Structure 1
Amino acid sequence: MPFAPLKNYHPKDAPVAVLYHDDHIVVVDKPSGLLSVAGKSEELADCMHARVRREFAGAMVIHRLDMDTSGVMIFARRKSAQRHLNLQFEQRRPQKTYVARVMGAVGGEAGQIDLPLMGDWPNRPLQKVDHDAGKPAQTDWRVLSREQGATRVELHPKTGRTHQLRVHMLAIGHPILGDRFYGDQRVIDAADRLQLHAHRLFLDHPDTGAALEFCASVPF
């Protein structure tokens, strides 16, 4: 059966949490439950992009976070900045750090997940591991802390596949808590939201070339 379309989309109305802005870029902390960009229907018009544009006219999307993922997002305010940032992302130069709480006790203290991913077309937009037709995907992980029945981990995606962190953690037996796409009922009931947060983003300023680091506090 195809995956059910998004229903009952009612994101909380809250001020945009601006982490940084200048004449070239604006960086925000996206809340969980809010789309990065608008959907196709009128009911899905509210999104991070639309909210940012209300305060910073003409702001342009550079990258996206899953609706249920919170954390650092950067937008361009000039075409020149958009071109420069797009090139950085195409060349995989920005470094992203996520924090997640996952089910169970992760074995070891650090490692890499190297599993190819592709769309699970009968169940789109879900993704799956496919060793024959999948595109390369790597995620570095490191344990931050442990608790009863869960582990807090730091995740560094080396590639940018759709749902990469969610599918990779599921594949090694430790789904992200609160994941209503990939988790069973036990995983869904373990948290009131997806426990995945884009914590830090490192990249170069599109005008000055200066190395920048942006950080959004982990809300769980």
Structure 2
Amino acid sequence: MTPEEMQARLLYRDGLMLVIDKPPGLPVHRGPKGVEAFEDYFDALRFGLPRSPALAHRLDRDTTGCLVLGRHRKALALLGKLFKQGKVGKTYWAVVAGGPAADEGRIDIALSKRDESRGWWMKPDPHGLPSVTMWRVMGRSEGLTWLALEPVTGRTHQLRVHCAEMGFPIVGDNIYGSAPRVGGPTLHLHAREVVVPISKNKPAVTITAPVPPHMRELLGKCGWNGERIDEPSSPLP
């Protein structure tokens, strides 16, 4: 990814944070195997500061959309506190196989690691960490549903496990759903919007990420009308 391509993914910028539009297929940070990661390209986002920005949270490898970065240590500490306290609003869009009968609801299923050899893989566990997701139906099609998901807690793979356990796995989920490990559709999970109360004296900043190309066909079948123009939701100073 060239510096220009990285900068083109910028959705929001101020003195404390950046929000960028993460593409599918790249882990956000380097793992033990040293594979290519999204953070390898953050140097293109310094904008005059001596250090590259750093991750304030994480998204799964194949999840797209709003990813928040802190521009320096003080900003990272503030953002980390906001995320930990649940003060950052997060809305994801997902296309799921099947779907719930109701139009909105709440999923309350505790989660824990499946086992240490599976890394981040999670499982339902009544003795695990409390995990809550709010959901709302945005549209339906034959065999598919477009959901807006709001994680109240921020457990690893929470939305994917919760949807699968409720009987409507996310399209393209090759861990918790039925998608093939190779050659199947890309995960249809998109971090559509974040709301960050970054300043005490100003309204919270709301940033929206454009729908990625791989989700547009199925979202359209579920009633999404497309976007007139994909441009940053906030001015870039």
TM-score by length of structure 1 reads 0.86
Q: What code does the residue aligned with 1:26 have?
A: L
Task: Determine whether 1:196 maps to 2:186.
Answer: no
Residues 52-201 of structure 1: matches in 2 within 5 Å? 52-56=42-46, 57-121=51-115, 123-131=118-126, 133-185=127-179, 192-201=185-194
Superposition RMSD in Å: 1.9
Segment drifting more, 201-210 vs 74-83: 201-210
Partner SS, residue 82 of structure 1 = helix
Cα shift readout 1:83-103 (whole Å, capped 9, x = no counterpart): 111111111100100000000
1:32 aligns with 2:27: no
Distance 2:96 2:137 in 1: 10
* Structure 2 CA distance for aligned equivalents of residues 154 and 118 of structure 1: 24
TM-aligned CA distance change 1:52 to 1:208, over 3 Å: farther
Task: Return 5+ residue gaps in structure 2 as ranges.
Answer: 216-237
Aligned partner of residue 40 in structure 2, secondary structure: helix
Q: Judging changes above 3 Å, is the alpha-carbon distance between structure 1 residues 187 and 176 closer, same or farther for their aligned structure 2 residues?
A: farther
Following TM superposition, by how much is the alpha carbon of 1:53 offset from its aligned partner in structure 2, in angstroms?
A: 2.4
Shift of 1:138: 0.4
Tell me the distance in 2 between the aligned counterparts of 1:218 and 1:187: 24
Q: Which runs of 5+ in 1 are unaligned?
A: 1-12
C-alpha distance in structure 2 between counterparts of 1:84 and 1:148, whole Å:
44
TM-score normalized with structure 2 length? 0.80
Q: Matches of 1:89 and 1:141 in 2, distance apart?
A: 20
Q: Compared with structure 1, are the counterparts of its residues 86 and 105 closer, same or farther at alpha carbon in structure 2 (3 Å cutoff)?
A: closer
Percent of pairs with identical residues: 34
Q: Which moved more, 1:47-56 or 1:144-153?
A: 47-56
